[in-house]
Amino acid sequence: MSVRSLLMPVLTERWLSRDRLLKARAKAERVRLRKGEPHRVHYFHQTDDPYSALLAACLPALVQRYQIDLVAHVVGPPSDAAAPDRARLVAYSRKDAQRLAQHRGLAFSDPGAQPSAAALDRATRALVAAADRGGFVEAAGPISAALWGGVARGGDVAVPTWPWPQASEPQAATHLTAGDALRKKWGHYLGATLFYAGEWYWGIDRLHHLEQRLQDLGAQRAGVSGVLFAPDADLAAPAALADAPPIDFYFSLRSPYSAIVAPRVFELGRLTGAPVRLRWVLPMVMRGLPVPREKRMYIALDAAREAHWHRTPFGRMNDPVGRPVERGLSLMPLAERTGKAQAYVLSFMHGVWAEGIDAGSDRGLRRIAERAGISWADARSAMQDEAWRQTAEAHRVEMLDLGLWGVPSYRVRDTAVWGQDRLWAVQQALLAPHHPPHHAATDP
């Protein structure tokens, strides 16, 4: 066992612990009080990002609910390293934002295309002017709605109907450069992000974490209770489904989000009778796709926060990138043939993400395999077969054909979604009445 494998579980258990997070929050609050500063929330808005449009529409409600000083920064899109499959990301973001808007009672429809360069420039300069003048909260939602509405109508918003002041091109460029630099300095890469006292919150999906933190600090205004968007509850009781469709579950053994959602996916399958078809893929970094440091750091911290919310053990990790993932995937065909696939996935995920087991060692992988009911003799034999590589590649191609590129992702009938925070969409697709396509009768 390497020194890295020995130290990583100890270090990550401390770094990702809930205790460390709460202490960091308490320290930040002491500093704020000592300096006499308000609760200052920084918001990073990406003009052509549908998730930013959704969050911008919620900013007035947020500042009405909490005693906060909101500072807005208009930023550019993520770098190529942080968005290695940009075309799929852009197209999926519009579709997913529409799904999320319908689910949360917000207004956004996928127009099927991105705003034109001219419309984007006009909206960006208006947003920069609003941010610089202190009117961003009131203007961002309407500007975003006008921008995307113009695309939906098949053209740009006509200049004479544009009621918002615009910053000059040099002013806008300077603002975006500063916003991008600040976002990177504080450790993020996306738009639609909120930063408060050392912690990041992405989109309306993580807004409840920020609201709960502000409420714990007593920053809510009189009469405020609950949160704007409460997380969706998982199915808790069996649901009798006739001929339940399968759930295709695309995952990576190196994905922390896959690790924390796998138990919930399997439980959803159990409660509905839907078979879960495992679609394992190699991690992005092992497919030649870069993952920048700020992305890796945020994902680990966010996964820990989400795991705590769902009461899933997580944090004592031993990154299985490289040989441990390959060894782990080599046992997937055996696990499936013997009916141990779900038990094996859970054992592997819990082992490397919550127990710090080194899956690259025989001792570690044997422990993972045997507690899933797989004999070590059979496992050692299975590791000699490289056929899993072709299967993993087939799963990757299949996932890309669905318009998806990352894990965890899922498909149920004609619903294909990405993210551990989209299990509600999988659940809805399973429980929704299914009307098969009608085929007209033909003469025999």
Q: Residue 308 in 3-state DSSP?
A: helix
Longest Cα–Cα distance of the chain, Å, equals 85
| pLDDT at residue number 151 | 81
pLDDT at residue 1, rounded to an integer: 64
pTM above 0.85, yes or no: yes
What CATH class has 247-431? alpha beta
State the residue for tokens 């796998």. 262
Helix then strand then coil, in percent of the chain rounded to 5, is 55, 10, 35
Close Cβ partners of 406 (under 8 Å, ≥ 6 residues apart): 85, 284, 418
pLDDT of residue 438: 45
Strand partners, 72: 43
The Cα 178–Cα 173 span in angstroms is: 9
Count of C-beta atoms within a 10 Å radius of residue 340? 17
Question: Counting Cβ atoms within 10 Å, is residue 28 exposed (0-12), middle (13-18) or buried (19+)?
Answer: middle
pLDDT at 12: 96
pLDDT in the model for residue 443: 30
CA torsion 377→380→385→391, rounded to 10°? 90
Q: Where does the chain hold its CATH 3.40.30.10 domain(s)?
A: 38-216, 247-431
What is the structure's pLDDT at 162? 77
Regions of the chain where pLDDT drops below 70? 1, 152, 155-161, 288-290, 434-444
CATH number at 38-216: 3.40.30.10
- Span between the terminal Cα atoms of the chain, in Å: 70
Residue 155's pLDDT is 61
